[in-house]
Chain A
Amino acid sequence: MSQQHPENTGHGTKDRAQYGLCAGLVLLGAYVLFDASRIGAVSSSNDPVGPKPMPILLGVLLLVVAVLYAMDVARGGSGEAEEGEDVDLSTSVDWRTIGLLIASFALNAVLIEPLGWVISGALLFWGSAFALGNRHHVRGLAAGVALSLITFYVFAIGLGVNLPAGILQGIL
């Protein structure tokens, strides 16, 4: 805001990647229309409209907005990338960090049921902290284990939130 940041967040004169977003909107609109065409025309006296018009309307609007968006981009329009306390927009996107974060995240999704939240959650925390530049491995792992144990006892056992115990069933 009151800080100066490079014009258009540093992406050259025209931010062409925005066309990708427009393409995404077109695909979404097309899928919504396709899905709507599959719905049988069900209507009754107390629901003369049925479930079909809303998705058709939405699909058409998505296509229209995608076109208008692309026109805006063609005229040089670009959205302002979001700023924040810890965001430094003068750097380019750090895909390595993103990739590692997604990997830790996916690992948790795969392991949460077989191994249980305490193990998968600790790995998630440790892996994400590593991806974000933490190099105190032991401290990071300890913090992860502590967090997942605390959350398991407080939320799963204390408050009855559904978190799996996994292979530690009976031990915890």
Chain B
Amino acid sequence: MDNITSLIGGFGDVLSPMNLLIALLGVTVGTAVGVLPGIGPAMTVALLLPIAQDLEPVQGLILFAGIFYGGMYGGSTTSILLNTPGESSSVVTAIEGNKMAKAGRAAQALATSAIGSFIAGTIGTLGIVFLMPQVAKFAISLGAPEYLAIILLTFTGVTAVLGASRIRGLASLLVGLTIGLVGIDFVTGQQRLTGGLPQLADGIDVVVVAVGIFAVGEALWVAAHLRRKAGEVIPVGRPWMGRSDWSRSWKPWLRGTVLGFPFGALPAGGAEIPTLLSYTAEKKLSKHPEEFGHGAIEGVAGPEAANNASAAGTLVPLLAMGLPTNATAAIMLFALQGWGIEPGPLLLTKEPALVWALVASLFVGNTMLLLLNLPLAPAWAKLLQIPRPYLYAGILFFASMGAYAVNSQPFDLWLLLVLGLLGFAMRRFGLPVLPLIVGVILGPLVERQGRRSLQLTGGDISGLVGGPVAWFCYVLIVLALAWPLVAKLVKARRGGSDLHDVETKTEVSV
């Protein structure tokens, strides 16, 4: 059991006072930003990038992983206590969770979501321990054409599978790829899309893009439609569960975990589909189907577990192949590059200590989150009372600081404003944000792999056709693209869909 030995080594690295402190800081900040409206883990990680570059890579990753996991705990608190979910992955939680809270069962809803998240997070992290090394071993054997195919599959996943509208997802992806193209070509040194501006020669910094799209875009969008009367927060005491709550929760937790993890681990995963599936499954399997729609605890336990398990799953493609499938993972990938670490299949071979310390920190952070969230839920709920002008002014303040700090040039602030307006427009027109960020980060990679593939055949297009893995990916891509057509046919035959009462949303958590 090599994995276990390495993991124990990872625990050895994490369990130093300094690293524990960083993990605690990460999960605390993560929970806070998860609770706060308008700000989420991806944006926080982006804002902290300039600081993280001065930390040791291990510590930076521990911090980010804590924020990543913490953000999900905080997000579910918001959707239960304040009916409007901030992240697409907690949309389903809000359906039953808020009903429970309104019926005076907020404490039980928070408890089942916190304990379910802990269980799913822990099992999911165990899943990483066993799956990730296998995937990495497999990924090392892949050549450039296979890699190209897998990246294209990821693109398909984030644009066509996760969104409500493919054309809007595709537009977002293409804009992201275009932003990623700006700068000097890595082989020939030719300037592309720089418009002759020297500040653009090194490309547009991912921090500026992420902060602009997430933070500034979000602040402008909220400002344009600011709810003058803040939503009603349901008061809550310390979370707890009675005997019947436990017996009704544990199976949904496990089922949610089983549904969530594989979806997260796929290069085209995400949390929306498994949370929705979990909700539907629990509704069908429940002994109390009549309670659904009026605050059924199964409808909180299952989707919350699915959400956290899927988040754990997204770390498999990130660590094993360098492929991010959510916004926070995308920015963590960028942070790795900033530390001079090349993410990809060789990461585990080259930096085993780093990877295992990160995985160990997930176990630690998850436990901290449970201990932090059960007793402190009422305190977190108070964060929802913060005056909105200060909250959004603060977001703009930190966004400007973060973007300026990257290169110390006011030019980046103007760029930030332009990207913020782009983020505003995307929210106005319902363009999903995730494809853009993935495009910016993977754009240069996809070009490199494509050019490398063609290098072997001297530019002949046949170089793009690889082995069975590539073929498999292309088949999946075709299937994913043809899916709505198939679904329409099936629907026409069966007349109606099972999911009609739950609609999906396209936004990613910010």
Contacts and interface: CB of A to CB of B under 8 A. Distances in A.
Interface of A: 1-3, 15, 17-18, 21, 25, 28, 31-32, 35-36, 39-40, 42-51, 54-55, 58, 61-62, 65-66, 68-69, 72, 77-89, 91, 93-95, 97-98, 101-102, 104-106, 108-110, 112-113, 117, 121, 124-126, 128-134, 140, 143-144, 147-148, 151, 155, 159-164
Interface stretch (B23-31, B81-89, B202-210, B303-311): B81-89
Nearest to A21: B429
21 contacts: A1-B85, A32-B193, A50-B188, A72-B165, A77-B165, A79-B165, A80-B505, A82-B507, A84-B37, A84-B38, A84-B222, A86-B222, A94-B223, A95-B224, A98-B223, A105-B420, A112-B413, A129-B389, A132-B392, A132-B393, A161-B51
B325 interface: no
Nearest to B415: A109
Interface string B288-325: 00000000000000000000000000000000000000
B112 to A, nearest CB: 19
Given A94-B223, A121-B400, A147-B397, 4 more contacts: A77-B167, A85-B37, A102-B220, A162-B408
B222 A81 contact: no
A95 B225 CA distance: 10
Main secondary structure of the interface of B (DSSP, over half): helix
Nearest to B55: A159
B56 interface: no
B230 A86 contact: yes
A89 B225 contact: yes
Contact of A147 (B190, B221, B394, B425): B394
Contact of B428 (A66, A81, A95, A125): A81
Contact of A86 (B227, B394, B397, B410): B227
B83 A2 contact: yes
B225 A109 contact: no
B91 interface: yes
B79 to A, nearest CB: 9
A89 B226 CA distance: 9
B286 to A, nearest CB: 18
B405 A65 contact: no
B190 A39 contact: yes
B283 interface: no
Given A80-B505, A86-B37, A28 B178 contact: yes
A68 B450 CA distance: 26
Interface stretch (B139-147, B168-176, B237-245, B364-372): B168-176
A108 B388 contact: no
Interface string B184-214: 0101101011000000000000000000000
Contacts of A129: 389-390, 393
A101 B228 contact: no
Nearest to B185: A51
Nearest to B501: A2
Interface in B485-508: 503, 505-507
B387 interface: yes
B396 interface: yes
A21 B450 contact: no
Contact of A108 (B400, B447, B451, B506): B400
> Most chain-A Cβ atoms within 10 A of its Cβ — which of B398, B405, B431?
B405
A45 B429 CA distance: 45
Nearest to A32: B178
Contact of B400 (A18, A61, A105, A162): A105
B58 interface: no
A48 B225 contact: no
B414 interface: yes
Interface string B90-117: 0100110010000000000000000000
A61 B174 contact: yes
Contact of B451 (A49, A79, A106): A49
Contacts of B193: 31-32, 35, 55
B171 A65 contact: yes
A84 B86 contact: yes
Nearest to A47: B187
B397 A125 contact: yes
Nearest to B86: A85
Given A35-B192, A55-B193, A86 B401 contact: no
B417 A131 contact: no
Interface stretch (B4-12, B126-134, B452-460): B452-460
Contacts of A117: 401, 404
Contacts of B396: 101, 104-105, 124-125, 128
Nearest to A9: B430
B226 A133 contact: yes
A55 B430 CA distance: 26
B405 A161 contact: yes
Contacts of B164: 79-80
B235 interface: no
B225 A133 contact: no
Contact of A69 (B168, B218, B230, B459): B168
A112 B427 contact: no
Given A79-B429, A88-B226, A151 B401 contact: yes
A86 B397 CA distance: 19
Given A1-B95, A84-B86, A163-B404, A47 B455 contact: yes
A81 B217 CA distance: 13
A65 B167 contact: yes
B223 A132 contact: yes
B37 A109 contact: no
Contacts of B221: 82, 84, 87
B192 A51 contact: yes
Contacts of B393: 124-126, 128-129, 132, 134, 140, 144
A147 B164 CA distance: 40
Nearest to A135: B389
A21 B506 CA distance: 18
A124 B400 CA distance: 9
